[in-house]
Structure 1
Amino acid sequence: MTTRRKFLTSAGAVGTAALAAPAVHSQSTIRWRMQTYAGAALAEHVIVPAINSFNKIAGERMQIELFFADQLVPTGELFRAMQRGTIDAVQSDDDSMASPTEVTVFGGYFPFASRYSLDVPVLFNQYGLKEIWEEEYAKVGVKHISAGAWDPCHFATKDPINSLADLQGKRVFTFPTAGRFLAQFGVVPVTLPWEDIEVAVQTGELDGVAWSGITEDYTVGWADVCNYFLTNNISGAWIGHFFANMDRWNEVPEDLQELLRVCMDQSHYYRQWWYWGGEADLRVNGTKMELTTIPDAEWAQVEQAANAFWDEIASESETKARIVGIIKQYNDAMAKAGRPYRYT
């Protein structure tokens, strides 16, 4: 597990590129290097189509070279590498890339902040989170380009989870903030390189993952090594983003900046329907994992704990309190709106 993996070479990624040298921008073609949080199999859905579209349309004016999880730098070092200009752009959540900003804790899976994937773009585009993220990243020399929703967060495990007691002692690969929240229920968060997770479950180093929904479990191979899927989730959608080094972004002509936004928005839209359809289809027709459920009355303890967790985070800074206030305001509006926005 401690041996460095060979770099992946599929889907246009070039894992042997020199890390220390920044991207070269010739007069004829602007060239960016972008690294995603996703491994090769997942990247084929969450990023490759968007980059292929951009490169096809931009042509000789600009090309983006895509790298997968941990190929150039470990995911936890993505922010620093982008800030330094070692790489030009990143697709990740704030939490995974160890962003040193006030908004980091809300990236990835902030417990129960969203129930459905559409909650994320509404929070950013109608409730003001977009402006907060732009301000926070501008302070540290990074351009926040756009935010989008990914899949919900569920447990996939080797042993069945039918009660909160079954979570005790489970070594789980998850996001930093999700792990911080789940630790109160006995979960032991474990951090490993993304591509090592399948083997870690096989060898017993991990008891499971709480990193995705069932679509990703099947797509990346975790459904082949996990026997059970817990239908309860701690978040309805992962919050992920596209970022760029601010100097590199400012070097790009306005029309190509707009093209980047359009292709990234198309990528967000792709995930909306790919995950939404996949989560339902694989629960019904999937054959690799047995579904389990913690009863609603017991799971309510987790939801109540999330409210206390929100208040804990809000107490840490004015910016965090502002964001928690927006999340509370939004969820209150959704609850009052009733079906189909929220079911009681």
Structure 2
Amino acid sequence: MDRRSILQNAGIAGILAAAAAPAVHAQTTIRWRLASSFPKSLDTIYGGAEVFSQQVKAMSGGKFEISVHAAGELMPAFGVVDGVQQGTVEACHTVPFYFFGKDETFAIGAAIPFGLNSRQMSAWMFEGNGLKLMREFYAKYNIINFPGGNTGAQMGGWFRKEVKSVADMKGLKFRIGGFAGRIVERMGGVPQNIPGGEIYQALEKGTIDAAEWVGPYDDQKLGFHKVAPFYYYPAWWEGGPQIDFYVNQKAYNALPGEFKAIIEAASGYTHVDMQAKYDARNPNALKQLVAGGAKLRPFPNDVMAETFKVAMQVYDELSAKNPNWKKVYTDFAKFRADQNLWFRFTEATFDRFMQAQKL
């Protein structure tokens, strides 16, 4: 090849390189904002959004960044669905049952009284029809959801006075998350839906008589044991509550396929990570709470039986008047029946034996 040909070829290569270079350097980082419904002090449940953000950034090589904002920074804890729906923020991290006031069907996406445990909930979501049905429902709100954590079965909460029978539920001002308040109300109680960061003050002042949050690790951080000594179990309304990432549908659709896959992978990682942290940290926190004077109490049998009865009545009523609820709950209930049949012979029997042993 002669000198002139070499220069010509070099010139063409240079032009092609120059044309390609701006496309590489002009590639900008996608930046989203995520509003959490939780205070920063709760490193498990609030921390789930930070874990998610870190995973998204790492998987994208820093090209996709999501800033996380605690409850109250950008919007109130219970304002996050409106924020995502309207596009004020691209995403949020929250518990779906907080928004049952919009439609009771939201609650099924997290937990309903006497629903599924955490493993069963994940099974319904990922292998049953749960994710499909909930996404069809959330589409009405311009939202697509991604499971983003589970606390496992929760404790029943902190009470200033003992609950010895169903009669003690009457007039009880009880901070209880979301939809379960409907059951408490039917039993004569007065449900209160208060964000996590505001519960202690209400309990301390006597504005409420009892409050539930999650379990020992978080409850200890919030200090409830200092103002209400009786610690009840189990949370019959939260056998396996799922926390979700809600993403604005338009913002999600605008993402390249690679980043959509990253959202799914990062939320899946967070989903497993959160419950692992709760399961690992709750036992020691419970020991410390009891050593500090917390008085563990199981809910009386008549309370459990009556709340179950009332819950089933409420579900029948909702199925008769709310077509969104009926569509999702019908599938949920069938899945629950099959899961309880299976767990009865395996998990439950194994757990009962192991918990009776002195290890």
Paired residue secondary structure (2:146): strand
Unaligned segments of structure 2, at least 5 residues: 1-25, 353-359
Following the alignment from structure 1 to structure 2, what is the Cα–Cα distance between the partners of residues 182 and 342?
Answer: 27
Name the amino acid aligned to 1:340: T
- The one of 241, 262, 280 equivalent to 2:244 is 241
Following the alignment from structure 2 to structure 1, what is the Cα–Cα distance between the partners of residues 111 and 341?
Answer: 24
Contact 1:335 1:342 in 2 (8 A): no
Contact 1:32 1:89 in 2 (8 A): yes
Alignment of 1:224-263 (within 5 A): 224-234=226-236, 235-263=238-266
Structure exhibiting the larger radius of gyration computed from Cα positions: 2
- The CA deviation at 1:217 is 1.0
Cα distance per residue 1:264-303 (max 9 Å; x no partner):
1111101222223444444445334210123335522222
Paired residue secondary structure (2:60): helix
Following the alignment from structure 2 to structure 1, what is the Cα–Cα distance between the partners of residues 321 and 347?
Answer: 30
Following the alignment from structure 2 to structure 1, what is the Cα–Cα distance between the partners of residues 99 and 69?
Answer: 15
Match of 2:34 in 1: 34
Following the alignment from structure 1 to structure 2, what is the Cα–Cα distance between the partners of residues 193 and 295?
Answer: 27
Identity %: 19
Following the alignment from structure 2 to structure 1, what is the Cα–Cα distance between the partners of residues 58 and 153?
Answer: 31
Alignment of 1:1-344 (within 5 A): 28-44=28-44, 45-97=47-99, 100=102, 103-114=105-116, 116-146=117-147, 148-153=149-154, 154-234=156-236, 235-286=238-289, 287-288=291-292, 289-296=294-301, 298-337=303-342, 338-342=344-348
Contact 2:163 2:300 in 1 (8 A): no
Following the alignment from structure 1 to structure 2, what is the Cα–Cα distance between the partners of residues 279 and 232?
Answer: 14
- The CA deviation at 1:91 is 0.8
Contact 1:79 1:98 in 2 (8 A): no
Paired residue secondary structure (1:91): strand
- The CA deviation at 1:78 is 1.3
Could you say what the CA RMSD is over the residues aligned between the two structures, in angstroms?
2.5
Paired residue secondary structure (1:96): helix
Following the alignment from structure 1 to structure 2, what is the Cα–Cα distance between the partners of residues 83 and 117?
Answer: 27
- The CA deviation at 1:37 is 1.3
Q: Name the TM-score, length of structure 2 as normaliser.
A: 0.80
Contact 1:172 1:190 in 2 (8 A): yes
Name the amino acid aligned to 1:31: R
Contact 2:217 2:285 in 1 (8 A): yes
Contact 2:52 2:269 in 1 (8 A): yes
Cα distance per residue 1:5-60 (max 9 Å; x no partner):
xxxxxxxxxxxxxxxxxxxxx96111111011111122454322222232244344
Contact 2:104 2:179 in 1 (8 A): no
Following the alignment from structure 2 to structure 1, what is the Cα–Cα distance between the partners of residues 213 and 227?
Answer: 15
Match of 2:9 in 1: none
- Counterparts in 2 of 1:321 and 1:203: CA distance versus 1, 3 Å: same
Name the amino acid aligned to 2:133: I
More helix by share: 2
Match of 2:3 in 1: none
Contact 2:31 2:67 in 1 (8 A): yes
- Counterparts in 2 of 1:294 and 1:171: CA distance versus 1, 3 Å: same
Match of 2:17 in 1: none
